[in-house]
Amino acid sequence: MVTGDREVREQAAIVNSGAGSSVDPQEIARFSALSGEWWDPAGAFAPLHRMSHARMAFIREALAMLGADNPTAFRPFAGMRVLDVGCGGGLLCEPLARLGATVTGIDASEQAIAAARAHAALSGLDVTFKRTAAETLLEGLANGDDKPFDAVVASEVIEHVTDPGAFLATLSQLARPGGIVVLTTLNRSAKSMVVAKVLAEYVLRVLPAGTHDWRKFLTPDELAALMDEAGLRVEMERGIGYSISRDRFELSDDMSVNYALAGRRDG
């Protein structure tokens, strides 16, 4: 496993390879050091595993705006091209592929991409994984190396980038005109400070200390405004909350901690 100074240098090389990249090398190095735990439901990424049901429920609703989700179909997203930005170990790539989408997952961490490729292979799933930044991928689109995607997903990512506005502009351009961009993230609220930072990282320790910088969280209004500036018209918003009675995360109207927005690219 590559960690420490070498990992930071490698992430910096990815940053420099893409114009205006919003990748934070220190953030990527931190997650790279935990990459052996991506598919451990009791490991460092346990909260993401527990939230996967709710995240996928929102993504399905958002992608249904493209007219592709038939609830009775075995592979409702067949023929749809989906990009997962900051895919980590592929926790969302795999269910999207099972639903029929042609999925590309990108991440700046070599270790995360290796974990994603290995697990997808074990699962018998055909997913394309690339170690790259969103800005570098966009340069490839401009050069004709690829084409825009029907949907772009960035789940629990924007709170870790250096320039959220520039990042959203890149996501918007990676989607085709009329395509969908889906984001899930954390609200910058007093409740999120207590629940997502203090309790999660220092009391219950379900997340490694230092996983989040509360100051980098965006409120739903702030994120919606940045999406609008990037040419993304917000069409869906939901909270993601924990149900004590069902012992799982579910979509809700409470956006005070975790929430999700989906926007349609102009055109």
Domains of the chain: 4-265 (3.40.50.150)
Spatial separation of the C-alpha atoms in residues 225 and 188, rounded to whole Å: 15
Confidence of residue 142 (pLDDT cuts 50, 70, 90): confident
Please give the average per-residue pLDDT across 28-40, as a whole number.
79
Position 6 pLDDT exceeds 70: no
Of all residues in the chain, the percent with pLDDT exceeding 70 is 83
Closest CA to 26 of 139, 84, 108: 108
Please give the average per-residue pLDDT across 155-178, as a whole number.
96
Please give the average per-residue pLDDT across 25-44, as a whole number.
80
The one-letter amino acid at 227: M
Question: Residue 228 burial by CB count (10 A; 0-12/13-18/19+): exposed, middle or buried?
Answer: middle
Position 13 pLDDT exceeds 70: no
Please give the average per-residue pLDDT across 120-139, as a whole number.
97
Position 35 pLDDT exceeds 80: no
Which of 14-18, 158-162, 220-224 has the least mean pLDDT?
14-18
- Per residue in 43-80, pLDDT (tens digit) is 878 778 888 999 999 999 999 999 866 666 788 999 99
Phi and psi, residue 238, nearest 5°:
-145, 155
What pLDDT, on the 0 to 100 scale, is given for residue 211? 64
Position 158 pLDDT exceeds 80: yes
Which residues, listed in sequence order, are joined to residue 182 by a DSSP beta bridge?
153, 262
Two tokens at 22?
A: 């919003």
What pLDDT, on the 0 to 100 scale, is given for residue 14? 46
Two tokens at 265?
A: 């690219």
Position 209 pLDDT exceeds 50: yes
3 state DSSP class of 63: helix
pTM: 0.85
What pLDDT, on the 0 to 100 scale, is given for residue 105? 98
Position 160 pLDDT exceeds 60: yes
Please give the average per-residue pLDDT across 208-231, as a whole number.
87
How many other C-beta atoms are found inside a 10 Å radius of the C-beta of residue 57? 16
- Per residue in 14-32, pLDDT (tens digit) is 444 445 567 888 778 776 7
Spatial separation of the C-alpha atoms in residues 41 and 68, rounded to whole Å: 30
Phi and psi, residue 208, nearest 5°:
-60, 140
Please give the average per-residue pLDDT across 162-173, as a whole number.
97
Please give the average per-residue pLDDT across 135-160, as a whole number.
93
What are the C-alpha distances in Å from 22 to residues 1, 11, 109? 24, 11, 14
CB 86, CB 114: distance < 8 Å: no
Q: CA torsion sign, 258 to 241 to 62 to 84?
A: positive
3 state DSSP class of 253: coil
- Per residue in 226-263, pLDDT (tens digit) is 999 999 999 999 999 888 877 888 999 999 999 999 99
Spatial separation of the C-alpha atoms in residues 90 and 101, rounded to whole Å: 14
Choice between 197 and 206, residue whose per-residue pLDDT is larger: 197
CB 53, CB 249: distance < 8 Å: yes
What pLDDT, on the 0 to 100 scale, is given for residue 71? 62
Average pLDDT over all residues of the chain = 85
